[in-house]
Amino acid sequence: MKLPSLSHMNISQIRSQFPILSQEVNGKQLVYLDNAASSQKPLAVINAISNYYKNDHANVHRGVHTLSQRATTQFETARKTVQQFLNAKHDHEIIFTSGTTDSINLVSQTWARKHLNAGDEVIISHLEHHSNIVPWQMVCDEKGAKLKVIPIDENGEVVLDEFRKLLSKSTKIVAINHVSNTLGVINPIEEITESAHKAGAIVCIDGAQAAPHMKIDVQALDVDFYSISAHKMYGPTGVGVLYGKETLLNDAPPWRGGGEMIETVTFEKTTYNSLPYKFEAGTPHIEGVIALGAAIRWMQEVGIDNIQAQEEKLRAYATQELKKIDGMRIIADVESKAAVVSFLVGEIHPYDMGTLLDQMGIAVRTGHHCAEPLMTHFQIPGTVRASFAVYNTMEEVDTLVKGVKRAATILE
């Protein structure tokens, strides 16, 4: 079903492909606005998992029998689908992981552990999710390297001039998100990458919040590593991707030992497999990878540009209407954002607001969103975060706004 534009009718067609959206929660029609945490799954993805188990389940790569060969074909087809989605140069630059967190840890525990020395520096930003902070802290502590942090301004945007001042001959890695999970702010990755490369550093991008909402071209961005999670882009939980430039992946040692990542094993010595398999030890999340391929194809069928345009309409409208509420404070009220509105109302605690919204059938995320340093920067306990997907509607935004108004009246 090719959708050249997203009219109200087409949104209805899209919503009909998501069975979970038809239910009631607490006696109210579900309004699901927690997509930055995890998006819902279309029938194309659900059926891909079901069909695999009904018809094709077998372990991949090593079997000569028909089921194994069919499973392997689907698995490797998904790898090529991801390659094309990210515009990677080679399909062996696509490493399957359990998610963005796992992908970042893979880089920190392989390439970084090999190349970082005492006195070297790793730069991250004040916008980062804990999964793009803690792995770098761990490897820096182990190697005696220093972790530096790019400051952000009052709008939640990185200060590029300060970033450039942090760069030095000791900088080995710059690790930053493409889109903030908490604020939705889109970082200027091209400029950051260009400056980092001039300083001799590699660039690792957390793309978990970008891949669901915009076209990603890793070659055009010239990033060295890029990580995504399937469950944030209409796919299943427990599977993700690390893209890495071929030369860097070849220069990184294996992380986990076991089957598949080996070429030969004796008790005296083991030789490792070629890319991508040297980083994919053990039986992979086969149905998850196949379903990720189905999710990407579904997104491409709807149209990435269509998805981005619909979500931007929702975000802009939600921002406009929420700002009319007394005491409303939208954190990072800037133009360069993706599908997120993060806010507070007066002195109302985010948890209390979220609890009342849930009673009205409205699902939002509350708290620090795994970004405690960012909350400390703004001197707030957390936020209420409404995050959008292509299946959300303007009517659902109206329901959210009414719900926030009602909750604010109750909690004042």
Extended strands (E) in 137-209: 146-150, 171-177, 202-206
| Cα 148 from Cα 389, distance rounded (Å) | 34
Find the DSSP H helices in 21-95.
43-51, 66-86
Q: Which listed residue (25, 46, 166, 370) is catalytic? A: 370
> Considering only CA atoms, which of 235, 244, 249 is closest in space to residue 289?
235
Is the four-CA dihedral 162, 163, 169, 172 of positive or negative sign? Answer: positive
Greatest CA separation for the chain: 72
Residue 370: active-site member:
yes
Contact predicate 391/20, CB 8 Å: no
Burial class (CB in 10 A: 0-12, 13-18, 19+), 27: exposed
Q: How many CB atoms lie within 10 A of CB 107?
A: 27
- Which among 152, 148, 150 has a CA at the least distance from the CA of 137? 148
Cα separation, 132 vs 313, whole angstroms? 29
Q: Which amino acid is at 152?
A: I
Strand order in the sheet with 328-331: 328-331, 340-345, 383-387, 365-367
Instruction: State the CB neighbour count (10 A cutoff) for residue 87.
Output: 14
CA atoms within 13 A on the CB side of 267: 0
How many Å apart are CA 64 and CA 67, to the nearest integer? Answer: 9
Burial class (CB in 10 A: 0-12, 13-18, 19+), 245: buried
Residue type (1 letter), 309: A
What residues are labeled active site?
370
